[in-house]
Amino acid sequence: KQEVTQIPAALSVPEGENLVLNCSFTDSAIYNLQWFRQDPGKGLTSLLLIQSSQREQTSGRLNASLDKSSGRSTLYIAASQPGDSATYLCAVEGNKLVFGAGTILRVKS
């Protein structure tokens, strides 16, 4: 059974800092990994999708890496801004999409 763990559970940083969110999964037989953002009371916004054959994806200030063999992914956020404050969810896709519990990020101005 696939299990996804996200560390840290919560993170508070001053504006401008670079930060790393971690995701680990127990079953490396995945098709892809997605990072999502969820604002309070809102739905999920897809940030980055990494296919199993890829090692990283970049979008603006976001960079996600995938090491399938070790069951790990990281989301790197450069020059964080208060608008980045949200919950970040990692999800891996095997025969279904399995989510981690998320990292609650707060960027202080």
Q: What residue ranges bind another protein (CB under 8 A)?
A: 4, 31-32, 34, 36, 41-46, 49, 89, 91, 93-102
Nearer Cβ to another protein (77/92)? 92
Nearer Cβ to another protein (10/78)? 10
Measured CA to CA, the distance from residue 8 to residue 28 in angstroms comes to: 21
Nearer Cβ to another protein (15/38)? 38
Compute the least distance from the CB of residue 89 to another protein, in Å.
Answer: 7
Q: Are 32 and 59 in contact (CB under 8 A)?
A: no
Compute the least distance from the CB of residue 59 to another protein, in Å.
Answer: 13
Q: CA–CA distance from 39 to each of 6, 28, 61 (Å)?
A: 17, 29, 18
Q: CA–CA distance from 8 to each of 34, 51, 103 (Å)?
A: 18, 24, 6
Compute the least distance from the CB of residue 96 to another protein, in Å.
Answer: 5
Compute the least distance from the CB of residue 17 to another protein, in Å.
Answer: 25
Coil, helix or strand at residue 71: coil
Measured CA to CA, the distance from residue 37 to residue 18 in angstroms comes to: 17
Nearer Cβ to another protein (95/109)? 95
